[in-house]
Chains A and B, each alone.
Chain A
């Protein structure tokens, strides 16, 4: 639903006069003759004016700078509800001192959300308040088509100083995805699947690095020959918090495992008993899939097909990018490889 629809439909509610009467009568600060109108009276007057339609725009626009924040916001909200004429006035409020007014202006500028909205979004991305930058980032993600200008704006947002803003942008720019269907769940696979061999991955020997800016992939952290000697040793099977990393965000694990000579098999899968919360996995530098359910994924086992990516009789390299939004994080349960027949 568009915000316009919200703001316009049902405007003439039968009980509106009652509330307006209440505003004039019951609320404190009723306008007295010869005195400065109280904030309540000023607000009530704006509401009455807006009920008469676009003619109220100049008065509402002036009220965007009212000394009382409730009056200012009422004016912004009413302008937004008056359609195009009101929204046009709101554009000037993109640098209003009041965050709520600026946010209302931003969303008005994105009504509809088109390429024409981009300047307002870029302005908002530079706003001092992270909440507005976050709104702008979300709108950017929704902006279609995602042309080069939008991508550049998103890349800027990915470098934002606020992690929530970074997260929204990074997720939108994330280039890796593979649809994952285990052979065990393939509806077209009409044979029993039997696990003929299980190869546990070692808990120890992993290296670990935080990626608060979420750009490790751009630095090739998943490449087999990436030099991770500067990374911190870590073990799997327990959360990273238990190992001294009090951190929520993106972090990477790199490890290695040896495989025996190639057995008979139809498929090979890597099985994670639990990664808190989301995971993206590479084997020998090749992307094999993700476990991306949001926070609910923290205790859910998952498997990824790695039939084509593993090398039998050799040492294999594995990289796991993990994102955790709250509480404990990391590869906190065992990992194993299963050979399926």
Chain B
């Protein structure tokens, strides 16, 4: 029996936490019913003083015959918008039906009451309504229930900071929170409710009260649902927009797909919504990592009874253990927070925490409040887990099901506050509160969050620091001058503020810092820019400098005919400075990074992308931990390998910087299927369904092939962008979901390759390449060359030629050559190297004189003589023809190169691309099937061969001996050794990749060692060794799957995948006090040959 047949899902953190949380939420709401008491006013149809009293500003009840009428008598009558209509399905009869809006239906919905002064309350106010959602609400992450503000995001203009709006924000499947955005004239702030379930078709009453002095509170079905205190705030600022029910005031519309009933706006806080004794989760966490120190759940007791309360008694129970606390006496309106310590030595899982607080008033009246919530103990992460990042945000369950480990979260709108403060904020209670539940949920789901920070893109900077031209005139565009010292400080302050606000959340794993900011960077001529230039280059900005990408040598008088320039050519010096430091972005990334690390969260990793969408010069991304790059896979998926190699060339400038790689899940329509066939019969099925899709889903075979191409490089993580094209979100945005198979392929690759083999791959370095490809910065500046990260153009195509020629190229920058020389290199390719700096040209000439080979095109600087010429090629756009020509050049190159250069390994099939990584004497051979044809998805357009075809390849590795293992199939591979080489055959499915371990010794089995007895709460040291026939550890990094099973066969914390370095693996099993006594088993299976070992031990009671 194969071990895997009994294998539990690797994602060890089930969804039981989320399910428990939801059931507790429902329970909490149900417990807070009004059984046995008179129906509170909000449960009735408002009449009399409730409808027309002095305090009522507006009341819309939508009753038949008077649907549009303001029942308060104040004249705020309604006008319907879009498809909105009135029905009689409300809890009291009439209701307003509204509809969703979005990118493809950006039409006003809901109903509008014209602006009037009294609709902007001068002090405290209460906004309440009933709503019932339609099922399609689930597809809309943020909808407006009521809007008089228009802007629910930061915009530094007065008209974005008036009045109020109430949004229903998706927090998970069937779960929402309320955001009340309040405008205070120059800026805005947001109050946030707790999350609550929203079940389509079920009416929910909600109320929001604002006291006009900074305190906003939410009530769901009459019970408190969250409170936000906005320090130092007063009443909202009156604005000029009308009140819209069921949608946003203006574009882009965000209509509420559902029904609204009895919407009322009152002056003051309606007494029904003033609360009593309350017990709720405080500002803190409910999810913890196992063995975490000082874990505690904050429970806040609030006295909203209007009376002074005697000291309260709070009883709480978690996992069978009860504790009693005493809270001090509370004056009216005051709160006190108690910390309930959590025992994190418990077995990982979700545990209910129930708490009750009781307090008496001076008159003897007793008040009691109860709360129930879920506390999660998450397993500690195993070592060397490869991140699989959703570069976007999706539903947690779906994200997890597809195999992602990380995804992005936003940081909302706190840039302005940090800018105003001019220093790191000590705490951002709003940010912490908004993110706390979210991050708890991430941890409970076994996911990590990456916060996307972009202080340099904050819109508020535009008015402060625009870039200026030589005449000092502000430039158009949003790319501001981030070189201003105050902007650099701001960036640090933002990072530091986030670290302070969210540094305690283990689910927050790091940050994406800015993104796509260099594309529209520009020259700038502030005095500080000019001074910085002078300081760095020793000269003023050369007069020839007009644009950011350089000056063509053809327009420079007296340019050297040999096209070699001094290393310190003024233009070269200027552009080096501009792209490294001068435009301000790289230092800015560093400042955010430093701020994020300022509180000691060393495990956080920061990343920047697309990092090579710049000229080929070190420094992109500044000091971030990781650089990444986006790549579209069409027309040839192995181009993702080219982009990855560029990333490594960039990272070479900052030792220790790591590389991850992102595949775009979206495909530009223009690059794959631009014109809808006129004959409907010739259209693909998606073209018939979504003819106007702007972006479509990457073809599954492309995703698979691109995956293997990038994984064959020593990347530290993989990323995917285009959630709406990967999954059926139902949202009508520009990214469309047009291929359902793609997500299945991704999930399969993560399940069968990344999870089991990731810990191994993260420990296996690259095999040093002796074949360089120079990307010349100087030629980019003087001749307009460069891929700029798009993996297009001749430089990229030459890289593809090399891959098809079975060569493992290494991208070099000029700086690499100047720093490291060409030591270890035997061949150097020079695509589009029209102009070189003297130092580089000199080293290359010396390299060639010493026997090195130069491969170049017809554009090579005349100062060098190529040994082999590969003429440049301009693609026709016809995918098959272009691939044919490039592969023909690859074949020709091989013929010319073969007498002089021996490959370490190769495939006899030109469509199978090989690449090696190496650990000590072990090779890790990747082989990727690039055999493709036109399919029925986009193939009829001729721009991309998207359909992979199966193939077979005879593979050769020039090492005299070795034992070959298929790491995906987990079995040995028959191999023939002859003539100093190993030869074996591999079969490939469409777009498929294979990974072979070639080890100097055979693998015989797995040895597991552990003590025979242990006790609950104790530690068990486990040693796993992958051994050869002599019983020695195999000198390789071997993938190993471990299962530690309790007597009920449930996997314990250390279960999962590992990479056993030098064949050895050791870990500690920390038995929990609530673990089961009895017979436990440790099973270990190495995933090279498939052999396994086991060890049983007894856990005493």
Contacts and interface: CB of A to CB of B under 8 A. Distances in A.
- Most chain B CB neighbours (cut-off 10 Å) among A13, A44, A113: A13
Interface in A262-300: 292-297, 300
Given A3-B862, A100-B866, 19 more contacts: A1-B560, A1-B562, A1-B566, A10-B843, A10-B845, A10-B846, A13-B849, A20-B851, A27-B901, A29-B900, A39-B899, A40-B899, A47-B851, A69-B896, A70-B867, A70-B896, A73-B865, A100-B869, A293-B547
B1042 interface: no
Interface stretch (A134-142, A198-206, A314-322, A330-338): A134-142
Contacts of A29: 899-900
Contacts of A13: 846, 849-850
Interface in A29-54: 29, 38-40, 43-44, 47, 50
A28 B902 contact: yes
Interface in B744-758: none
Nearest to A42: B899
A339 B784 CA distance: 37
20 contacts: A3-B863, A5-B842, A6-B863, A10-B845, A10-B846, A15-B823, A15-B850, A19-B852, A26-B902, A27-B901, A27-B902, A38-B899, A70-B853, A73-B867, A76-B865, A77-B865, A110-B561, A167-B554, A171-B554, A297-B546
B555 interface: yes
A3 B552 CA distance: 21
A74 B899 contact: no
A295 B864 CA distance: 27
B363 interface: no
B853 A11 contact: no
Nearest to B857: A131
A22 B546 CA distance: 48
Interface string B803-837: 00000000000000000000100100000000000
Contacts of A123: none
**Chain A interface extent, by class:** 35 or more
A43 B900 contact: yes
**Chain B interface extent, by class:** 35 or more
Contacts of A141: 561
B868 interface: yes
Nearest to B551: A294
Contacts of A39: 899-900
A107 B863 CA distance: 8
A150 interface: no
B561 A139 contact: yes
A27 B900 contact: yes
Contacts of A103: 862, 865
B561 to A, nearest CB: 4
A138 B559 CA distance: 10
Nearest to B846: A10
Interface in B674-718: none
B552 A107 contact: no
Given A113-B561, A296-B546, A1 B838 contact: yes
Nearest to A135: B862
B9 to A, nearest CB: 49
Given A296-B546, A297-B546, A28 B898 contact: yes
B869 A300 contact: no
A44 B865 contact: no
A80 B862 CA distance: 12
Contacts of A38: 899
- Most chain B CB neighbours (cut-off 10 Å) among A6, A110, A141, A293: A6
A236 to B, nearest CB: 22
A19 B862 contact: no
Nearest to B548: A296
A47 B845 contact: no
A168 B552 CA distance: 12
A293 to B, nearest CB: 5
Contacts of A81: 845, 849
Nearest to A16: B850
B899 A44 contact: no
A104 interface: yes
B893 to A, nearest CB: 12
B848 interface: yes
A20 B554 CA distance: 39
A280 to B, nearest CB: 13
B866 A73 contact: yes
B562 A10 contact: no
B898 A294 contact: no
B939 to A, nearest CB: 27
B104 interface: no
- Most chain B CB neighbours (cut-off 10 Å) among A20, A43, A74: A74
B552 to A, nearest CB: 4
A131 B857 CA distance: 10
A168 B850 contact: no
Nearest to B562: A3
A292 B865 contact: no
A115 interface: no
Contacts of A297: 546
A185 interface: yes
A9 B842 contact: yes
List 4 tightest A-B contacts by C-beta distance, closest first: A296-B547, A77-B865, A294-B552, A142-B561
A23 interface: yes
A293 B546 contact: yes
A71 to B, nearest CB: 9
Contacts of A77: 848-849, 865
B562 A19 contact: no
Contacts of B864: 6
A231 to B, nearest CB: 28
Interface string B336-367: 00000000000000000000000000000000
Nearest to A292: B555
Interface in B555-587: 555, 558-562, 564-566
Contacts of A76: 865
Contact of B851 (A10, A22, A135, A300): A22
Interface string B863-887: 1111111000000000000000000
A68 interface: yes
A231 B685 CA distance: 49
Nearest to B866: A100
A7 interface: yes
Contacts of A70: 853, 867-868, 896, 899-900
B858 A2 contact: no
A99 interface: yes
Nearest to A80: B865
B592 interface: no
Contacts of B552: 294-296
Interface string B507-550: 00000000000000000000000000000000000000011011
Nearest to B837: A1
A68 B899 contact: yes
A9 B838 CA distance: 11
B841 interface: yes
B849 A16 contact: yes
- Most chain A CB neighbours (cut-off 10 Å) among B547, B850, B863, B866: B850
B899 A28 contact: yes
Given A11-B846, A19-B852, A100-B865, A293 B555 contact: yes
A53 B862 CA distance: 23
A19 B900 contact: no
Contacts of A74: 867
B471 interface: yes
A107 B554 CA distance: 19
B845 A6 contact: yes
Interface in A299-313: 300
Nearest to A184: B471
Interface string A122-163: 000000000100010011011000000000000000000000
A6 B867 contact: no
B865 A6 contact: no
A293 B848 CA distance: 36
A73 B846 CA distance: 15
A7 B863 CA distance: 8
Interface string B1034-1056: 00000000000000000000000
